[in-house]
Amino acid sequence: MKIFSIDSPLYRGLTKIRDIFVLNLCWLIGSLPLVTIGVSCVAASDVALKMADEEEGYIARQFFRAYKANLRQGIPLGIIMAVCSYIVYLDFEFVRASEKGSVLLIVTGCVTAFVFLFSFLYAPALTARYYNSLPKILRNSFRISMKFFFRSVLTVLFVAIEAAAICWNYTTLFAGLLMGPALITCTICAMAKPVFKKLENEEKEKTV
């Protein structure tokens, strides 16, 4: 039957689900030491960017090749992400613990969360796609987020919906464990790829 042919939407959809599952498994294995979560995010982004253009080959092979290539950049990136997330968490914990709540703490927490969120939104994908220093990667992530603000907000919204769906109940939480991180990475990279290509084309036009 045509519905089961390799060119059918059903077959392509099932193949994509399988690839996301395999990518997520690789992400989990790569994140086991915890300190290498950043490396796993970069390696998963490398594969997800290829998936966005349907250029992926052997998912596991590509993942661990990118994993090895990005150890030096990925470990500090993951540590910085964890520290910044903890800073935002502490700020809002102070607000919750205070009886009246501090307007200054609330504003500081919101501004800090905004800056951190958009500084890290494209950071793993930028690390995977371009060679640059970590400070420049974080600055470029924030600049791209501001330049393409609507698309960036839409990306965050999609990720938030996926995260909410994953946390809906124990069944979805289990499904999220099997596919969640890879699915979120693929969503971010699918939204980021056209932006990267547009910026690359603009850069080429400047050099012509």
Per-residue pLDDT of the chain (208 residues; tens, 9 = 90+): 455 555 666 667 778 888 999 999 999 999 998 899 999 999 999 999 998 887 667 899 999 999 999 999 999 999 999 999 999 888 888 877 776 657 777 888 889 999 999 999 999 999 999 989 999 999 999 999 999 999 999 999 999 999 999 989 888 888 888 899 999 999 999 999 999 999 988 887 776 5
Please state, in angstroms and rounded to a whole number, the distance separating the CA atoms of residues 58 and 62.
6
Domain coordinates of the chain in residue numbers? 2-207
186: closest CA among 88, 81, 51, 62?
A: 51
Please state, in angstroms and rounded to a whole number, the distance separating the CA atoms of residues 40 and 53.
20
For residue 119, the tally of other CB atoms under 10 A from its CB is 20
